[in-house]
Amino acid sequence: MLGVEGLTKSYTSPSRRVAVLRGVEFAVAAGEAVALVGESGCGKTTLLQIIAGLDKPDDGKVWLNTQEITALDDHAAADLRRTALGLVFQHYNLIASLTVADNVAFQARLSGREDTAWTASLMRALGLDGLEGRYPEQLSGGQQQRVAIGRTLAYRPSLILADEPTGNLDEDTSDAVLDLCLSLVRQTGCAFVMVTHAPRLAGRLDRRLRLSAGQVHSDAD
């Protein structure tokens, strides 16, 4: 499913060059839920952005099934995000001017894969029933994150990349959102990679990958 090979990435700060990723390698199978943990600033978000085709590595490759994501130009990477990848972020990234129902259906509509029955079942599963006509600003943080997750799952991506999706939520809400996320991931059979700072949440996923000193170590190592 997802393969990461020898990924390196450096940034140039005003005073020096900082190597964030130094030959990162790992793989995630279909249906597997993996937590990516590490200290703040260790490069977790950078790694996730490279996997999503939002950023380019200095070296190395990222594969999604048979497609090399790192070789895609902006246009092709956007096509891939639209059809195969689902992204969930700490700040939700909802469209403020669209209603909850439109936000959930948005990416599925964009790729021409809207399935109204599936969307309706997602809305029920996410506890968004009765909130369809509301705008994001009228929702709580937990509700907004559920809308973001619904938007990602509505078009059944092969891989979901979540960057601290519960970072803005309290503990109870975080648990509820993750429960929901994992149940829907199992239901759809997609792969799931989640960046988190919370060991408690990371421990609930199938596997933990620790990013440290620019390299990934599996908790199985």
Partner 1 sequence: MPTDPIHMRWVLRALLSHWGRHKLQLAALMVGLAAATALWSGVQALNDQARQSYDAAAQRVSGLSFRMLVPTDPDAPISEGDFRTLRALGWPVSPIVDRRILIDGTSYRLMGIEPLTLPQNSDMHSVAPGAVDLLPFIEPPYQAVVSPQTARRLSGNTDLPPRVESTALADRFIIMDIGAALAMPDATGLTGLVVAADFDANTDRLPPNLRARIQLLEPLQSADIGALTDSFHLNLTAFGLLSFLVGLFIVYGAIGLSFEDRKPLFRTLRLCGVSARRLSAALIMELLGFAVCAAVVGMLGGALMASVLLPDLSLSLSGLYGADIGDSLRLRPLWWVAGAAISILGALGAAATALWRTHRMPVTHLHQPRAQHGAYARQFRWQAAAASGIALIGVGGLTLWPSLAGGFAAMAALLVASALVLPALLWPLVGGLARLASGPIARWFWSDARSQIGAMSLALMALLLALGASIGVGAMVNSFRITFDGFLDERLAAELYFIAASDRDGARLAEALHARSDVRAVLPDWRARARIGGWPVDVVAFADHATTRETWTLLAALATPWDRVQAGAVLVNEQLAHRFSLAPGDTVTLETETGLQSYTIAGVYADYGNTTGQIRGDVGVLAARFPRLSKAGFAVRTDTPAAVMAFLEQQGLDPARMIDQRQLKAFSKSVFEQTFVVTTALNALTLLVAGTALLTNLLTLSAQRLVSLAPLWAMGLTRRHLAVLDLAKTVCLALLTAVLAIPLGIGVAWLLVAVINVEAFGWRLPLGVYPADWVRLAAMVLITTLVAGLWPAWKLGRVTPARLAKVFADAR
- Footprint of partner 1 (CB under 8 A): 49, 52, 54-55, 64-67, 74-85, 87, 89, 93-98, 102, 106-107, 109-113, 151
CA-based max dimension of the chain: 55
Q: Which is nearer to partner 1, 195 or 202 (CB)?
A: 195
Q: Which is nearer to partner 1, 98 or 176 (CB)?
A: 98
How far is 24 from 217, CA to CA, in rounded Å? Answer: 9
Q: Where are the alpha helices (DSSP H) in the chain?
A: 44-51, 74-83, 100-110, 116-125, 141-153, 171-188, 199-202
Tell me how crowded residue 205 is: count the other CB atoms within 10 A of its CB: 21
Shortest reach from residue 55's CB to partner 1, in Å:
6
Shortest reach from residue 155's CB to partner 1, in Å:
9
Q: What angle do CA 25, 29, 32 make, to 5 degrees?
A: 110
Shortest reach from residue 65's CB to partner 1, in Å:
6
Q: Which is nearer to partner 1, 77 or 123 (CB)?
A: 77
Shortest reach from residue 97's CB to partner 1, in Å:
4
